[in-house]
Every structure is written in C-alpha cells, then in structure tokens.
Amino acid sequence: MVEPTFHAPTGAPVPASGRPIHLREWMDEPDVDLRSLARILRFIRRVNRYLGGTRAVLLHLQDWSRQWLPQDGPIVIADVATGSADIPEAILRWADAHGQRIQLVALDIHAATLAYAGAWTRRRPELQLVRGNALRLPLANGSVDYAICSMFTHHLDDAAVLTALRELLRVSRRGVIVNDLLRWSSARIWVWLMTVLASGVNRHDARTSVAKGFTLAEVRRWPAAVSAPWLRCRVHPLARFTLAGERPLAAGERGKPGSAGLQTPLDPHWQPEPARAPAPLQLRLVS
C-alpha cells in the first residue's frame, strides 16, 4: 500500500476530480520513520480485518471460486501494493478452509514495508514477496489469474490510478479487484471519531485517506477509460467500494496461463527469498 511514485505519463485520459491529491500520507514518504511505518501498517491491518477491507476482497473470490475447476491447477493471484501482506494471508486462510489451491505473489515498492510483511506473515510456500512498482509491474502479460489491489489507489493522482488499473488488467488473465475508500461526508465523520485517540501518524493518514478517496461517479468512469466494461462497481459498508470483474473468456480458454515472469526488477540486486518461492509458480528474472 506504499507507492512513492505517483504520476502517470502525460497524455493519459484523466477524469475531472475534486480530490485533494496534493495531500500526502506519512507512509508515502520514502524516508518515513520505521517505527511510524510499523504503527501505520498495524493500523491498516486492523482496518482491513474489522472494517471490511478483507471481507470485500473475499466476497468476490468466493463468488468466482464456484467456477474454478480442479484441472485448472493452483489459482495464481497477485496482490499489488500489498503493505504488510495481511490480505494475502487472509486469502490463504480462506483457501485452506475451503479446499482451494492458491498461490500468491505479494508486491510492494517499499523495501521496509516488505520487510515488515516478511516478519509478520507465516512462512509458507504459497506466498512470495516481491518488490515491484504498481505503475510498472514486474510481471509478464497474463501471468496470473487475478490481480488485486487494496487501499492503494487513493494514494495516486487520477492519471496514475488509470495506469495502475491498466497494469492490473495487463498481468491478469481472469479478473481484477480494486478495493478502496469512498469520499463520503459520513466517512469523514466516522474516521474522525475513530481516530480521536489514535496516534498522530495514524490519525493523520486515516483522515487523509478518506479525504483522498473517490466518489462513485469517479469510480464508474474507470472501466470505460481502461477499455474494461466488464468491471463493476460495488458499494460495501463503511464507505468502501470494490471495482471488480472477471474477464469474459472464449470457449475453451479456461486453461492455466504460463508461469509468471518477472521483467527487469526495480532493484537490480533484488532476488526472491528461496524459502518463499512456491514450486508451481516460478517467477523468473529477465535480464
């Protein structure tokens, strides 16, 4: 959920917006204090768990899983701007409980955030942590089944939102889930009340997140802007939305894609942790 590079290339179609994109969250700063970053990430984990962020993602996966076939093999999901990887963890718990085979690639550009994700998640072969830019994902076209992105798009300006969404569409073969906040007056009120006793950094970032959220009209313009009319906006409790959908597939097109491929990584010295590299999902670095 951390992405210090905000601006998309010039010329991208940008819908008109009243969002205060000049506001910055402390967690977006490249030199954020590590203690503050840990406090923010813990706060986001609680928000996702108790205020519907995780549930919003699982609702879509539960619905789509009815069409997953055993011969498809493991379902491969990329969680973009993963933060502390709490949503990937929840997906794997759900998969374990329902007998689903899932492989997850959790990506974030912030090295310290990935370090916390590695420390706080249970080591298991189905989860791989990867450093990558949401606006230029280090994954090959169609290399995963689903690409999801939670509590991140509000960090971006309007052009960059569309760039990130196009990247999710590019790397995913079956579908996409975007999960974020609505800029509603009621949301401003409850987040203000919820953070009265919070730490200064959590209070600032939570209130800024809602202020930089979206209206339904803004979100509903995205599918046409990225040529994905099959994406649908859904409102969830506590001023949350998802923009999600499965790509229409031609008959006989339901087989598995090839193994996910990493293009040139942002950090040329980065290598995936061997303990986290799942056998069925071979991510390769391309020089």
Cα separation of 84 and 241, whole Å?
A: 21
Q: Evaluate whether residue 123 is within a structural domain.
A: yes
DSSP state of 135: T
Cα separation of 96 and 91, whole Å?
A: 9
Q: How many folded domains does the chain comprise? A: 1
Average pLDDT over residues 213-235: 94
Which pLDDT tens digit goes with each residue over 60-73?
A: 999 999 999 888 88
Q: Which whole-number Å values give the CA distances from 223 to 56, 166, 187, in the listed order?
A: 19, 10, 24
The answer to whether residue 205 scores a pLDDT higher than 90 is: no
The CATH number covering residue 188 comes to 3.40.50.150
DSSP state of 154: G
Q: Evaluate whether residue 74 is within a structural domain.
A: yes
Which pLDDT tens digit goes with each residue over 138-192?
A: 999 999 999 999 989 888 889 999 999 999 999 999 999 999 888 756 666 556 5
CA dihedral 107, 108, 111, 114 (to 10 degrees): -60
27: helix, strand or coil:
helix
Q: Evaluate whether residue 240 is within a structural domain.
A: yes
The parent domain of residue 140 ranges over: 26-246+257-285
Q: Evaluate whether residue 1 is within a structural domain.
A: no
